[in-house]
Amino acid sequence: MDTCLEETSNQHGTRGGRFVWWPVLLLLSLGLGAGVGYAEWLVGRYWAPWLLLPALTGLAGGIVWCGMVRLMPVAGRRALLWTAAVIALGATVLAPHWMAYRELQAQITPETQLIAKMTASTEEPIIPETFGEFLAWSAKRGRFIGRQKIVGVWVWASWALDAILVGVGFGLPVRDLMRKPYCRTCRTWLRPILARNLSLREAERVAARCSLPSNCFPGNLHEPLRLRVLGCRGACGGFVLQFFSVGHRRPLLEESLSSAMFAQLNDSLAAPEASDASPRRR
Ligand SMILES: [Zn+2]
């Protein structure tokens, strides 16, 4: 599944750099997740459609997180990326509860606490002090889902469902990012440079210009073939050539290209007849 530019011997000293990125990524993920969860808490005061709000929050969080991660040279470091994503997700899920807890804390004065303790019956919970107590207290007090009030274990179940929906929304863009091709030298994700539909004959001509064997395409292909070239954003200046058959997400063929070979490929696309006349490489 991993598609990437091969590590080349002429590195330009940018392989992740000397700078250590993982603490930055983990800290920023924590902050970003908390920020997204805080935004959900704010929005939830005015508009809180059950199921929809957590799913949208997760999706927005995932998109913003992926945008942030793309700025760092951490492509292909799957364990680190998933750890950071889980931290961001955990912060997103907990932040609204934490904000509600802080809000309640701000309202509590020694007097209200005393009154609550004096008037508390055995069934009625007293005002919570820790975050854990607050969650248990909130569950006992209940939650409205539409006009239906739920209490106790059902509140915990609804929170778990919220968390799952945030996770699903968050996971979609993250999974997509994990599948994107990247450069192993620079640890950055590749950017699309050009995309074009070609007939099988044209595709074979382009492949020949890039020194691929003449029989690199299987025989029973549906035309047109989709040609895609991706370029590295980093210092290595490398490219990746991909061919796709119609309706397939996985490339049929994939090859690393040097900048000289990319220039040749561009020439052959710009003037197919002229390039046909020139001798084949290799
Ligand atoms: Zn690169």
Q: Where do the structural domains in the chain lie, given as residue ranges?
A: 18-180, 188-277
Distance 7 CA to ligand 1 centre (A): 8
Q: What is the three-class DSSP state of 260?
A: helix
User: Model ipTM?
Assistant: 0.97
Query: Does 281 score more than 80 pLDDT?
Result: no
Query: Does 197 score more than 50 pLDDT?
Result: yes
Structure-block tokens of residue 217: 């395409």
Distance 206 CA to ligand 1 centre (A): 23
Distance 275 CA to ligand 1 centre (A): 28
The partner residues of 195 in beta bridges, in order of sequence, read 228
Distance 176 CA to ligand 1 centre (A): 20
Distance 262 CA to ligand 1 centre (A): 14
Distance 237 CA to ligand 1 centre (A): 6
Q: How far apart are CA 29 and CA 196, in angstroms?
A: 37
As a whole number, mean pLDDT of residues 136-157 equals 90
Residue in the block written with tokens 């863009």 = 173
Distance 177 CA to ligand 1 centre (A): 17
Neighbour count for residue 4 (Cβ, 10 Å): 20
Q: Which of 229, 215, 227, 225 has its CA nearest to residue 245?
A: 225
Distance 167 CA to ligand 1 centre (A): 31
pLDDT in tens, 176-188: 999 888 998 899 9
What is the pLDDT, as a whole number, of residue 4? 55
Query: Does 160 score more than 90 pLDDT?
Result: yes
Q: How far apart are CA 266 and CA 260, in angstroms?
A: 10
As a whole number, mean pLDDT of residues 256-267 equals 87
Neighbouring C-alpha atoms within 13 Å toward the C-beta of 166: 25
Query: Does 12 score more than 60 pLDDT?
Result: no
Q: Radius of gyration over alpha carbons of the chain, in Å? A: 27
Q: How far apart are CA 248 and CA 241, in angstroms?
A: 16
